[in-house]
Structure 1
Amino acid sequence: MTTHDMPGADDLTALLEPVKALANPVRLQVLQWLRDPEEHFPVEPDITDPRTVGVCVSHIQAKTGLAQSTVSAYMAALERAGLVRSTRVGKWTHYRRDEERIAQFVEELGLGIGQVHLAEPLPR
């Protein structure tokens, strides 16, 4: 591999934040739950739409059974990683997945670690 083939430090940093955020099983589980919020959280259509505004952090906290401060820290890590977006509704914070950024991350991850092409034989 030549130096121009090596990923730059900025490329690696962009990959590391989401990888670190997803290394925690609870954060990964919350991100999975947010993929289909109506199935996993109470729906309050008079207050918010879970698809466009998100799920209230209190519902996430109740489902995880963790302390509110822990859940807030977990959601902040997911938001710093660009995997979720937050919206304030009154005094409550709601979270939803950032599907565009998640798709971008998956693509970057594939390029960053190398995609396996099934038509090519694996190196020995």
Structure 2
Amino acid sequence: MNNPLDIFKALANESRIQILEWLKDPEAHFTPQEGIDLVEVGVCVSQITSKMNMNQSTASQYLSILHRVGLINAKRIGKWTYYKRNEDVINQIGLYLQKGE
């Protein structure tokens, strides 16, 4: 797991937390993508940007922060990047909090 302090800093923004919540159940929050499974592959950056109702630069910055600390994974297919939650890291941070370390 990355530095817990860096993870908590990434989570100190309501929009980044919202992204993680949407990615927990992508089929409930995003429209189907042609030929790309929302759960297995992830959600296209353009859909996340649109749902966030902010410019692409800000959305990309938020996604980059979440990716850098390991909370989401990125997969590039052609010219598009798809994001999904990294459940291993999310579970590790939960265990870290339970231990109180």
Matched, 1:32 2:21: yes
Q: CA deviation at 1:47?
A: 2.2
Structure with bigger gyration radius: 1
Q: Is the 8 A contact 1:15 1:109 kept in 2?
A: no
1:53 counterpart residue number: 41
Among 86, 92, 96, the residue aligned to 1:104: 92
For 1:59, the aligned partner's letter is Q
Matched, 1:71 2:59: yes
Q: CA deviation at 1:52?
A: 1.2
User: SS in structure 1 opposite 2:3?
Assistant: helix
Find the aligned partners of 1:23 and 1:110 in 2 and give their Cα distance: 19
2:78 counterpart residue number: 90
Find the aligned partners of 1:89 and 1:51 in 2 and give their Cα distance: 15
Note the residue ranges of structure 2 that are not aligned, 5 or more in a row: none
Note the residue ranges of structure 1 that are not aligned, 5 or more in a row: 1-10, 114-124
Q: What's the TM-score once normalised by structure 2's chain length?
A: 0.93
Q: What's the TM-score once normalised by structure 1's chain length?
A: 0.76
Q: CA deviation at 1:80?
A: 1.0
Find the aligned partners of 2:54 and 2:35 in 1 and give their Cα distance: 24
4+ runs deviating over 3 angstroms: none
Q: Report the count of equivalent residues.
A: 101
Matched, 1:16 2:5: yes
Identify the structure with bigger relative contact order (alpha carbons < 8 Å, sequence gap 6+).
Answer: 2
For 1:31, the aligned partner's letter is L
| Root mean square deviation of aligned Cα | 1.5
